[in-house]
Amino acid sequence: MVDVSELVLDLATILRPHSSEVRQQALCALQAMFGIDQQSSDSPKRRPDLYSATWRKIRTTVLAEQGTTCRYCGVDCSDDPTVDHIRPVCSGVSPFEAGNFAVSCRRCNSVKGGREGWQKTP
Ligand SMILES: [Zn+2]
């Protein structure tokens, strides 16, 4: 059995000399790699952009323009639609960049995580 806390310590040592931007990207890549559910790991503190009035406005606009069909798997997610950043915010793009939004069901958005160019495999 691997001691996860040791791995985390190793990781912290590796990442320490890097800028906060690099650390955020590494974290994002790890989340994507291990399929960590963004929903449960996100808190308003960590991702304030997702809870701002600007974001709510964008979300409403995107849903009105694109409808509620998931861009990735094609299901109708009108009961619980999410708006995905096509280029993940952790890649450095602004969370409010126009044209970077895709309607996604919660499942696809969660699986996609911080990856760019993810496609659902049938
Ligand atoms: Zn989907």
pLDDT tens track for 69-114:
999 999 999 999 999 999 988 888 888 899 999 999 999 999 998 8
Q: Look at 27 and 96; give whichever has higher pLDDT.
A: 96
Is the model's pLDDT at 51 over the cut of 70? no
Cβ-based neighbours of 35, under 8 Å, separated by 6 or more: 111, 113
Report CA(97)–ligand 1 centroid distance (Å).
22
Report CA(117)–ligand 1 centroid distance (Å).
14
* pTM of structure: 0.62
Report CA(42)–ligand 1 centroid distance (Å).
20
> Given pLDDT bands bounded at 50, 70 and 90, which one contains residue 36?
low
Count CB atoms within 10 A of the CB of residue 52.
Answer: 14
Tokens of 13: 């040592």
Q: Cα-flanking dihedrals φ and ψ of residue 17, to 5°?
A: -70, -10
Count CB atoms within 10 A of the CB of residue 102.
Answer: 18
Task: Write out the E strands in 17-112.
Answer: 81-85, 101-105
Report CA(96)–ligand 1 centroid distance (Å).
22
